[in-house]
């Protein structure tokens, strides 16, 4: 129930434990969620259109292309915690309403400008510089938006309904993703693929200005949250939220526990259930992008109501063990579930993995962990080249040690294919011309050999068991709803009002921006290193189990915390 400019007595009375939701409470949930949906829409556009954007802006010498590709890819994830610090501080000093009004203006404005930004061909190196700067602004804005929206809604919620109220915020990432896909697909269909690649890709970015206008109009009509309004009226707002939140061990300890014992595990489950599952279907199982996207979309649509279910359930039984239970279930079932995805999505690949073992004979010193943030970094050793090609072909392999200094050899059945040590260009960022030619030949020879061994180049559409695939994907997303549905309410309840925005935003965005956002890259590096298509799952499994242990031992249940109590 929103606070008006009434008496101080009004400010001292927090929202009661209520029955039916009021019209004002519906407005708070709707306005906060709608704005956050639009922010996620803006954020996802770049990822969905990255290949087209790269051709428009990242043109030039290899060094320039590499640097800006790195910055543009990483910026949205890496800067989110810094956005949490900047806007969390403002939110605790001047209020929740105006701070996340600022974040949506920054996000919407940055997205709209991307739609207008001239290409590299028109303005040269200024184009990628401006693009990366806009991407950084998007990441900063998203870092401030989530904490503001979650805090604002929770501080409006009646006692006993914070889980249900804030769970609507938790649906927004999925809905924003849907909205971005809908606009992109609609534009593509309306103008055609050629026109879309030439100029139509700008339309989804330009459309964001309409969404921005709606959000700003709605948010301007909203009141400040009751908890912050009361605290401000009593003169108890923080003058230095950052030092209070992170300079005092009493609160910093809770921030660290919120990260390790909650959001770190929540993040890897969230990204594995939605994004890594999609990545696995496309890259590993070789299911075409349309089929893979449609199956994950159906699973998301079926599972989305469970965000509300688990948020509401958390009001009755507590938040902690629903979140940790989702992490535990995910950790113990990921291996069989992803194995089932292979069985029902590409049975020919499953058979090849079982019946046609592949071996890489190599000097172990030449085999490295291929963490590749941008997808452009080159690893020149013969072992890394061989294992990278096999991993990209979804071929499992075992390694056999060879004498020091020897060139790696791929053994597929009775066929042996020698790899090579590449020579790098002077800038150290790419293979030279001769090495590129050798790499192309090696890829061709390896592709022929793995095809002869029964490894399919792509999944057979007639062999895909779509109902079972959707069921498995639904289970994966159900884990997402368990860990994500109650998390906003719990984070809000862990911290005092005067530094709540700052304190809750940082662990959330470190967990989701760093541990979650870099999951696909880390997982692929693990797969290439080990030679097992499922080995990348050990990253989310280990992180989720760590969160279960730390959370169970050290994180306290917060359901009955009084967020209106004096700080």
Domain boundary among 452, 469, 489: 452
The alpha carbon of 139 is separated from its chain's Cα centroid by a whole number of angstroms, namely 12
Q: How confident is the model at residue 372 (pLDDT cuts 50, 70, 90)?
A: low
What H or E segment, with its residue span, contains residue 515? none
Query: Are residues 61 and 117 both part of a single domain?
Result: yes
With a cut of 90, say whether residue 343 has pLDDT above it.
yes
Between 79 and 1, the more confident residue is: 79
Q: How confident is the model at residue 565 (pLDDT cuts 50, 70, 90)?
A: low
Name the residue with tokens 């902690």.
320
The alpha carbon of 378 is separated from its chain's Cα centroid by a whole number of angstroms, namely 25
Query: Are residues 174 and 323 both part of a single domain?
Result: no
Query: Are residues 396 and 497 both part of a single domain?
Result: no
Question: Torsion-angle region of residue 255: left (phi > 0), alpha (psi -120 to 50) or beta?
Answer: alpha
With a cut of 50, say whether residue 550 has pLDDT above it.
yes
With a cut of 70, say whether residue 62 has pLDDT above it.
no
Query: Are residues 346 and 362 both part of a single domain?
Result: no
Query: Are residues 72 and 10 both part of a single domain?
Result: yes
Q: Residues 244, 498: contact at Cβ < 8 Å?
A: yes
Q: What is the pLDDT of residues 128-159, one digit of tens each?
A: 888 888 888 888 888 887 777 788 888 878 88
Residue 21 has a pLDDT of: 67
Query: Are residues 446 and 520 both part of a single domain?
Result: no
CATH of the domain at 399: 3.40.30
Between 267 and 243, the more confident residue is: 267
Residue 461 lies in a domain: no
Task: Please state the pTM of the whole predicted model.
Answer: 0.83
Query: Are residues 421 and 304 both part of a single domain?
Result: no
Between 61 and 483, the more confident residue is: 483
Q: How confident is the model at residue 26 (pLDDT cuts 50, 70, 90)?
A: confident
Residue 51 has a pLDDT of: 67
Query: Comparing 47-56, 58-67, 412-421, 453-462, which segment has the lowest mean pLDDT?
Result: 58-67
With a cut of 80, say whether residue 1 has pLDDT above it.
no
Query: Are residues 345 and 255 both part of a single domain?
Result: yes
Query: Are residues 193 and 88 both part of a single domain?
Result: yes
Residue 373 has a pLDDT of: 57
Count the domains in the chain: 3
Share of the chain above pLDDT 90, in %: 34
Residue 7 has a pLDDT of: 34
With a cut of 60, say whether residue 302 has pLDDT above it.
yes
Residue 13 has a pLDDT of: 47
With a cut of 70, say whether residue 486 has pLDDT above it.
yes
Average pLDDT, the chain: 84
Residue 565 lies in a domain: no
Residue 242 lies in a domain: no
Residue 235 has a pLDDT of: 72
Domain boundary among 452, 471, 501: 452
Cα–Cα distance, 151 to 550 (Å, whole number)? 24
Residue 6 has a pLDDT of: 36
Q: How confident is the model at residue 5 (pLDDT cuts 50, 70, 90)?
A: very low
Q: Give the residue from 109, 106, 132, 140 showing the smallest Cα distance to 50.
A: 132
Q: Give the residue from 108, 338, 92 showing the smallest Cα distance to 213.
A: 108
Residue 68 has a pLDDT of: 58
CATH of the domain at 56: 1.20.1250.20
Residue 477 has a pLDDT of: 94
Cα–Cα distance, 481 to 303 (Å, whole number)? 7
Residue 360 has a pLDDT of: 93
Dihedral sign from CA coordinates of 170, 174, 180, 182: negative
Query: Are residues 262 and 156 both part of a single domain?
Result: no
Share of the chain above pLDDT 70, in %: 89
Residue 59 has a pLDDT of: 65
Residue 441 lies in a domain: yes
Q: How confident is the model at residue 2 (pLDDT cuts 50, 70, 90)?
A: very low
Q: How confident is the model at residue 116 (pLDDT cuts 50, 70, 90)?
A: very high
Residue 17 has a pLDDT of: 53
The alpha carbon of 248 is separated from its chain's Cα centroid by a whole number of angstroms, namely 30
Residue 466 lies in a domain: no
Q: What is the pLDDT of residues 75-93, one digit of tens each?
A: 777 888 888 888 888 878 7
Residue 489 lies in a domain: yes
With a cut of 70, say whether residue 66 has pLDDT above it.
no
With a cut of 80, say whether residue 538 has pLDDT above it.
yes
Q: What is the pLDDT of residues 505-526, one digit of tens each?
A: 889 889 888 888 788 778 877 8
Q: What is the pLDDT of residues 345-365, one digit of tens each?
A: 999 999 988 888 899 999 999
Residue 463 lies in a domain: no
Residue 491 has a pLDDT of: 92
Quickly list DSSP for 407-466: PPEEEETTEEEE-----B-TTSSSB-HHHHHHHHHHHHHHHHHHHHTT--SS--GGG--H
Query: Are residues 161 and 214 both part of a single domain?
Result: yes
Residue 10 has a pLDDT of: 42
With a cut of 50, say whether residue 494 has pLDDT above it.
yes
Query: Comparing 170-184, 199-213, 446-460, which segment has the lowest mean pLDDT?
Result: 170-184
Residue 143 lies in a domain: yes
Query: Comparing 224-228, 438-442, 446-450, which segment has the lowest mean pLDDT?
Result: 224-228
296-301 average pLDDT score: 87
Domain that holds residue 540: 250-354+481-560
Cα–Cα distance, 336 to 514 (Å, whole number)? 26
Domain boundary among 452, 467, 494: 452
Residue 290 has a pLDDT of: 76
Quickly list DSSP for 261-319: IIIHHHHHHHHIIIIIHHHIIIIIS---HHHHHHHHHHHHHHHTHHHHHHHHHHHHH-S
Query: Are residues 341 and 362 both part of a single domain?
Result: no
Residue 72 has a pLDDT of: 67
């Amino acid at each position: 129930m929103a606070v008006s400019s009434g008496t101080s007595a009004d400010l001292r009375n927090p929202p009661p434990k209520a029955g039916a939701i009021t019209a004002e409470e519906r407005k708070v949930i709707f306005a906060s969620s709608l704005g956050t949906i639009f922010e996620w829409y803006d954020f996802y556009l770049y990822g969905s259109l990255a290949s087209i954007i790269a051709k428009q802006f990242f043109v030039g010498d290899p060094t320039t292309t590499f640097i800006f590709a790195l910055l543009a890819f990483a910026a949205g994830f890496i800067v989110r915690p810094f956005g949490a610090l900047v806007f969390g501080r403002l939110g605790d000093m001047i209020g929740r309403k105006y701070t996340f009004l600022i974040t949506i203006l920054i996000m919407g404005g940055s997205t709209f400008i991307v739609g207008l930004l001239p290409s590299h061909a028109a303005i040269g190196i200024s184009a990628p510089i401006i693009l990366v700067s806009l991407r950084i602004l998007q990441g900063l804005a998203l870092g401030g938006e989530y904490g503001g929206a979650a805090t604002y809604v929770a501080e409006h919620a009646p006692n006993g309904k914070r889980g249900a109220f804030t769970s609507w915020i938790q649906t927004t990432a999925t809905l924003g993703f849907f909205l971005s896909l809908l606009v992109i697909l609609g534009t593509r269909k309306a103008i055609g693929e050629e026109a879309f690649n030439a100029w139509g890709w700008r339309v989804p970015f330009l459309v964001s200005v309409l969404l921005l206008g709606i959000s700003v109009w709605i948010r301007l009509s909203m009141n400040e949250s009751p908890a912050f309004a009361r605290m401000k009226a009593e003169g108890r707002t923080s003058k230095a939220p950052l030092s209070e939140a992170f300079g005092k061990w009493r609160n910093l300890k809770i921030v660290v526990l919120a990260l390790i014992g909650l959001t770190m595990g929540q993040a890897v489950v969230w990204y594995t259930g939605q994004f890594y599952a999609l990545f696995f279907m496309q890259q590993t199982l070789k299911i075409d992008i349309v089929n893979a996207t449609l199956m994950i979309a159906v699973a998301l649509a079926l599972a989305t109501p469970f965000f509300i279910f688990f948020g509401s359930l958390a009001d009755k039984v507590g938040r902690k063990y629903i979140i940790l239970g989702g992490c535990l279930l995910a950790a113990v079932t990921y291996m069989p579930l992803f194995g089932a995805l292979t069985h029902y999505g590409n049975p020919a690949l499953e058979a090849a993995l079982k019946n046609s073992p592949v071996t890489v004979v190599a000097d172990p010193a030449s085999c490295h962990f291929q963490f590749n943030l941008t997808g452009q970094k080159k690893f020149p050793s013969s072992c890394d080249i061989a294992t990278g090609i096999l991993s990209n072909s979804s071929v499992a392999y075992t390694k056999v040690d060879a004498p020091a200094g020897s060139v790696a050899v791929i053994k597929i059945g009775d066929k042996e294919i020698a790899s090579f040590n590449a020579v790098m260009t002077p800038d150290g960022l790419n293979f030279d011309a001769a090495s590129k030619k050798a790499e192309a030949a090696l890829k061709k020879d390896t592709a022929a050999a793995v095809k002869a061994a029964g490894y399919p180049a792509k999944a057979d559409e007639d062999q895909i068991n779509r109902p079972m695939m959707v069921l498995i994907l639904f289970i994966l997303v159900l884990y997402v709803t368990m860990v994500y549905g109650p998390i906003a309410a719990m984070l809000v309840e862990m911290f005092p009002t005067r530094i709540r925005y700052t304190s809750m935003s940082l662990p959330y965005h470190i967990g989701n921006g760093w541990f979650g956002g870099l999951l696909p890259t880390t997982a692929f590096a693990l797969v290439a290193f080990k030679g097992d298509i499922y080995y990348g799952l050990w990253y989310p499994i280990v992180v989720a189990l760590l969160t279960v242990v730390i959370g169970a031992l050290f994180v306290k249940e917060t359901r009955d915390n009084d967020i209106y109590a004096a700080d």
